[in-house]
Amino acid sequence: MGIEIKKMDRHGRIVIPKKWREKIGEEVILVMYEDKLEILPKKGNLLRFLDSVEVEELREWERMRKELYEIR
């Protein structure tokens, strides 16, 4: 585990240290909670987010479910 303090540049970007990028890969998932941002590797298990997403219609749910299983 590591902690680094970073500032956003004027475009809102944050540099992720190279050693961290090598561990998590090139694609990440950004999860925003009330006042917290979590960065997760895309290669992880996305099914843990399944119940945290609000779904308006059944069709939307079916599309999302299919995409999640394709990633697995």
Contacts of the segment 45-52: beta carbons below 8 A, 24+ positions apart: 45/72, 46/71, 46/72, 47/72
Of 2-16, 19-33, 44-58, least confident by mean pLDDT is 44-58
Count of Cβ atoms closer than 10 Å to residue 34 Cβ: 4
Higher-confidence residue: 62 or 15? 15
Residue of 3, 59, 53 whose CA lies nearest to 32: 53
Least confident range from 10-24, 28-42, 45-59: namely 45-59
pTM confidence score: 0.49
